[in-house]
Chains A and B, each alone.
Chain A
Amino acid sequence: MSAPRLLHPGAWWLWAVALSACALRTTNPVLLCLIIAVAGWVVVSRRADVPWSRSFASCLRLGMIVIIVRVVFQILFGVRVSGMTLFTIPEVTLPDWAAGVSLGGPVTLESLMAALYQGLRLAAVLACFGAATSLCSPYRMLRALPTVLYEAGVAVTIAFTFAPQAIVASRQVREARRLRGRSDRGVRAWTASALPVLEGALDRAVALAASMDSRGYGRRGSSSVAVRRRSIGLVLLGLVAIAVGSYGLLDPGAPALFRVPALALGAAALLGALIAGGRSTTRTRYRPDPWAAPEWIVSFAGVVAFGSFVSVSRMGDALNPSTNPLEVPAVPVLAVVGLLVAALPAWCAPRPPALVAPSTMAVAA
């Protein structure tokens, strides 16, 4: 539709966060599979040819591991749920003080399905995170962050660039293994490369944060110590309140106080920090990313999907199918339509520009 350009990273993150909020609201396996499919479709359609665009596949693999671990834990330590017994593993009788815990015993189809649904939900959230990381450059995301977060400069840099750096590092470690004539597949290769990959990714993220710090990222200019302390305190308060508020918003069982009031408090604190500290500093941006119609469409698509999930959950239990007694999950049409709207960015977002080499991308950002 429009000329090839990179979409504003904030739009992709908004879209992905809305999609993962949908996933957190449901245990319906059909909808969770559809969420993963939608995220994958958009990633394949609109990702640039850069190293971190492969993080979606890694996140899918991680999701598979999560599901397997969840099911195995259910078999070994899970709550013994009544129902159709598939097989029985040896049971350990625990003392009275541990009466709420069970170890071994009959494994029922109902308990396995419940574990599978929960694992699938986490896998869907991971897929949404992977979609956001593959679709936008972490460096551009750092640039687009609001000025308030500069106070937490190093932490924010590491948080946003760790996952993409891990993808780059894992590629390099695997290449190095291959050059040394060792296999890069199988469990042994995985365990042998896990530590170098994590260490390398953290090293790269810290190095990036250090270099950004030395270039003035997160500097407050010529503000006094008292002003700086006040604004740092407000930023901390605001971040904690926003973390609590977003948790409350995602968990339908959380008390009402932890939802909108906490978010409002966080926003007010961040605004206060901006006013307290930002008066003395002026900041300019070199070639700022535009926020135009495609950005609005992409973020709106995510919000529409989330809205459809909220309204479906108000109408009934379709989002959380019962596993005891086991029932065939219903497919709420409204939620499916909402997720199809969330797939619109695959057509509405501009194509990423074809790059000559990935390294120029990093330099340009």
Chain B
Amino acid sequence: MTLPLSQTAMKQTAMKRSSLRRARRALGAALLGIAALAGVVVGGASPAGASSCSGPIAGGEIRVVLVVDASDLGGGASATCLVVAAGTTGSQLLARRGSELGTGAPRYGSSGLLCAIDGRPASGCGDRSAGGFEYWAYFNGSSGSWVYGNFNPFTRRLSDGDIEGWRYVSGAGNGQDPPPRIGPARSLFPALAPSLPSLPDLSSLAPPSGAGDSPSSGARSAVVPSTSPSTGEARVDPSGDTSVDGVSSSTTVDDSVAVGAVALASSSTTHSTTGRWIGIAAVFVLIAVMAGGAWVQTRRSR
């Protein structure tokens, strides 16, 4: 019950932030171009990126790019730029991405192993396969190339300009497992983000049509948009329209849709948990009867 509430709170802060950045809408188009350049666009689908980390950031905040590659699960690869509080951990970043894109929180196993991002895969967690294990491999791309991460996403604290990558792989579970198909290029960050080293010039960026050379090494990667309704902040208008009015109106619509969905989800969970609680109560009544009977028997035999 607490989870949907906190998600709503996150959405509200996201709304505030997005209103601050409405004027910088043009950057959305720039990012659209970058996202399109990051790979081949599948089936004419428009790429999704994030515009949330363009422009100056407040003190105590950092910009991080999160690449999630679910190509092996039919989900495509995407890069999302997020502004988060300094000291955010890798797992918090994943959760934040899920709430910004509206794809839900990642699923973890009881041991803390990451099982699913965006609900993919629907079931199973690090299961064995013919090629070893099928799992979400963690990579760090801050150095300019993907480094297989032996860090714990729950304790790894991010710093400004970090590039984080997750790819669903089938492999031995070591550094030989393949990295995400979107390369960890600086160009994944929105062009105007200041004070980051070696940022590309805005004029060198291709228009949103996607023509031009790929700045990233992963030329085979597929960029697909997030499927569920997202907040206006994390979404780029598919038409490439950069009008400020259009964006602001779509933001409000999207937000109301997202909040409505959260409210619906919470009410449906309450309904199903009541049945579960009744089942648990029935079993514990049974256990109490057994324990009472055992106690009586022990007393009698003495």
Are these two chains actual partners, yes or no? Answer: yes
Residues of A within 8 A of B (CB): 27, 30-31, 33-34, 37-38, 40-41, 44-45, 49, 78-82, 84, 91, 99-102, 105, 110-111, 114, 117-118, 253, 255, 317, 320, 322-325, 328-331, 333, 336, 343
Which 5 residue pairs across A and B have the least CB separation, nearest first? A331-B279, A79-B112, A80-B154, A324-B108, A114-B110
CB-based contact A82/B95 at 8 Å? yes
21 contacts between A and B (CB under 8 A): A31-B283, A34-B287, A37-B286, A37-B287, A37-B291, A38-B290, A44-B297, A79-B154, A81-B108, A84-B2, A99-B155, A99-B156, A100-B151, A102-B152, A102-B155, A114-B110, A114-B112, A117-B110, A118-B110, A255-B128, A330-B276
B280 with A331: CB separation less than 8 A? yes
Residue B263 CB within 8 A of the other chain: no
Assess the A328–B152 pair: CB atoms within 8 A.
no
Bound-complex Cα distance A328 to B271 (A): 12
Question: Is B108's CB under 8 angstroms from A41's CB?
Answer: no
Q: Which residue of B lies closest to A29 (CB)?
A: B280
Most buried by A among B123, B150, B286: B286
Is B151 within 8 A of A99, CB to CB? Answer: yes
Interface string of B253-286 (1 = CB under 8 A from A): 0000000000000000000010011011011101
* Minimum C-beta distance from B279 to chain A (A): 3
Contact B297 A320 (CB under 8 A): no
> Which residues does chain A contribute within 8 Å of B298, judged by CB atoms?
44
In the assembled complex, the Cα of A320 lies from the Cα of B124 at a distance in Å of: 11
Q: Is the CB of B290 within 8 A of A331?
A: no
Interchain CA distance A247-B155 in the complex, whole Å: 33
Whether B103 is near chain A, meaning CB under 8 Å from some CB there, is no
A329 adjacent to B280 (CB under 8 Å)? yes
Considering only CB atoms, which chain A residue lies closest to B91 in the complex?
A82
Given contacts A37-B290, A324-B108, list 9 more A-B pairs with CB under 8 A.
Answer: A31-B283, A33-B284, A79-B112, A82-B108, A99-B152, A322-B107, A328-B273, A331-B279, A343-B290
> How far does the alpha carbon of A110 sit from the alpha carbon of B284 in the complex, in Å?
22
Which residues on A sit within 8 Å (CB–CB) of B212? Answer: none
Residue of A49, A331, A333 ringed by the most chain B CB atoms within 10 A: A331
Residues of B within 8 A of A (CB): 2-3, 89, 91-92, 95, 105, 107-112, 123, 127-128, 150-152, 154-156, 273, 276-277, 279-280, 282-284, 286-287, 290-291, 293-294, 297-298, 301
Q: Do A105 and B276 touch (CB < 8 A)? A: no
Q: Are B297 and A45 in contact (CB under 8 A)?
A: yes
B154 touches A328 (CB 8 A): no
- Cβ A40 vs Cβ B280 within 8 A: no
What DSSP secondary structure best describes chain B's contact surface?
helix
**Are A330 and B154 touching (Cβ within 8 A)?**
no
Judging by beta carbons under 8 Å apart, are A79 and B282 in contact? no
Q: Which residue of A lies closest to B94 (CB)?
A: A82
Query: Is B112 within 8 A of A99, CB to CB?
Result: no
CB distance from B262 to the nearest CB of A (A): 14
Residue of A nearest to B295 (CB): A44
Closest to B154 in A: A80
Whole-angstrom CA separation of A110 from B111 in the bound complex: 10
The answer to whether B276 touches A331 (Cβ under 8 A) is yes
On chain B, the residues within 8 Å of A81 by CB distance are 108, 112, 154
Q: Is A331 touching B282 in the complex (CB atoms < 8 A)?
A: yes
Contacts of B282 in A (CB 8 A): 331
Given A253-B127, A324-B107, A336-B283, answer yes or no on A82-B152 (Cβ-Cβ < 8 Å): no
Give A105 to B108 CA distance when docked, in angstroms: 19
B287 cross-chain contacts in A, Cβ below 8 A:
33-34, 37
Contact of A329 among B2, B276, B286 (CB under 8 A): B276
Assess whether A102 is in contact with B154, with CB atoms less than 8 Å apart. Answer: yes
Closest to B294 in A: A44
Contact of B276 among A100, A328, A336 (CB under 8 A): A328
- Docked Cα-Cα span, A307 to B263, in Å, equals 40
Do residues A34 and B283 form an inter-chain contact, with CB atoms below 8 A?
yes
Task: Known contacts A81-B112, A253-B127; decide if A41 and B155 are in contact (CB<8 Å).
Answer: no
Q: Are B110 and A324 in contact, with the CB atoms below 8 A?
A: yes
Least CB distance, B99 to chain A, in whole angstroms: 12
Contact B128 A79 (CB under 8 A): no
How many Å from the CB of A319 to the closest CB on chain B?
12
Is there contact, CB below 8 Å, between B294 and A105?
Answer: no
A105 touches B155 (CB 8 A): yes
The answer to whether A79 and B111 touch across the interface, beta carbons within 8 angstroms, is: yes
In the bound complex, CA of A110 to CA of B269 (Å)? 18
Alpha-carbon gap, A148 to B176, bound state (A): 47
**Residues of chain A contacted by B109 (CB below 8 angstroms):** 324
A residues near B297, Cβ cutoff 8 Å: 44-45
Residues of chain B lying within 8 A (CB to CB) of residue A329: 276, 280
With beta carbons under 8 angstroms apart, the residue of B151, B286, B290 that contacts A40 is: B290
Q: For the complex, what is the distance from the CA of A30 to the CA of B284, rounded to whole Å? A: 8
